Amino acid sequence: MKDLHSHILYGIDDGCKTLDEALNLLKLSKKRGIDEIILTPHYIENSKFNCNNFNKKTLFEELKNKLREEQIDIKIYLGNEVFFTDNFLNLIANGEIETLNNSKYILFEFPMGPIYNNTSEIISMLISRGYVPILAHPERYYRFQEHPEIAKEYLRMGVHLQGNFTSLFGKYGKTSLKTLKYLLKKHYISFLGSDTHHEIKYNAKKVRKKLLKITKDVDYVNDLLENNFNKVINDDEIGILR
């Protein structure tokens, strides 16, 4: 299993605080069946979660070196989870935010409550510049919970959706679970990620079993857990259900 979304890069957001905590969480991730993981610290403009790319890469290289020293066999890549902004392009150009493994794919999140009125325009602007937006955990947003069918609108725009593994096991409540099940049955989700900050409470076998029970589709589950992740890492194209 491969993990598109995590907060393991230490000391720069509300995830892991120290190098040792990050190493222990990566060890546990490997033990639970995760072979590759993208580190996606929050980037929120005008907040304390605004580590730039230079500093992120310094921490990332330290962590990679420590993994080699301790012979922890897990591959890590660098990205961001960017809080939605009309300033995406400037942040990319100024070296503030990181796409996923330096690809065209960029992971972003919405506010939990109302979504901005100019959302469609900003997404269209990103896509017109060659970027592929991936919306983190749609099942957690009130708007998607109340009207899960709106996911189709984002797919039509060219946005991919990333659900959280932990939503499958009730971490965010029954409504998030119900919403994610709906999105999975419709094949609207392209990726899954842990969104882990400090703990791993699942394993690859349980996740796969749960997904197969929901979707009844082995090929789709393989795309969710491995194939689409690989395409992001290699900056390849991913088909989207429109």
- Within-domain flag for 32: yes
Per-residue confidence (pLDDT) for residue 134, from 0 to 100:
98
Q: Are 41 and 9 in contact (CB under 8 A)?
A: yes
Q: 186-230 pLDDT, tens per residue? A: 999 999 999 999 988 888 999 999 999 999 999 999 999 999 999
CA trace torsion 163, 164, 167, 169 (10° rounding): 120
Average pLDDT over residues 126-137: 97
C-alpha 200/C-alpha 15 separation (Å) is 12
Q: Is the pLDDT at 175 greater than 90, yes or no? A: yes
Q: How many CB atoms lie within 10 A of CB 209?
A: 12
Per-residue confidence (pLDDT) for residue 24, from 0 to 100:
96
- Within-domain flag for 240: no
What is the CATH number for 110?
3.20.20.140
- Within-domain flag for 140: yes
With H, G, I as helix, E, B as strand and everything else as coil, classify residue 127: helix
Mean pLDDT across the chain: 95
- Within-domain flag for 239: no
- Within-domain flag for 215: yes
Per-residue confidence (pLDDT) for residue 33, from 0 to 100:
95
Per-residue confidence (pLDDT) for residue 242, from 0 to 100:
60
Q: Is the pLDDT at 241 greater than 70, yes or no? A: no
Tokens of 163: 């659900």
- Within-domain flag for 242: no
What is the number of domains present in the chain?
Answer: 1
Nearest to 198 by CA among 62, 48, 32, 14: 14
Average pLDDT over residues 53-73: 97
* DSSP code, position 70: T
- Within-domain flag for 156: yes
Tokens of 133: 């937006």
Residues in the chain: 242
With a CB cutoff of 8 Å and minimum separation 6, the contacts of 32 are 200, 202, 203, 204
> pTM for this structure?
0.96
- Residue 32 pLDDT grade (very low, low, confident, very high; cuts 50, 70, 90): very high
Q: Which domain holds residue 147?
A: 2-233
Average pLDDT over residues 131-140: 97
Positions of E strands within the chain: 2-3, 36-39, 42-43, 75-78, 81-83, 105-109, 132-136, 160-164, 191-193
Tokens of 242: 């429109």
CA-based end-to-end distance of the chain: 26
Angle between helices 174-185 and 204-215 (to 10 degrees): 60
* CB half-sphere exposure, 175, CA atoms < 13 A: 10
Lowest mean pLDDT, pick from 137-141, 177-181, 199-203: 199-203
Which secondary structure element, helix H or strand E, spans residue 138, and what is its range? Answer: none
* DSSP code, position 90: H
- Within-domain flag for 241: no
- Residue 147 pLDDT grade (very low, low, confident, very high; cuts 50, 70, 90): very high
Which secondary structure element, helix H or strand E, spans residue 69, and what is its range? Answer: helix 53-69
Per-residue confidence (pLDDT) for residue 239, from 0 to 100:
80
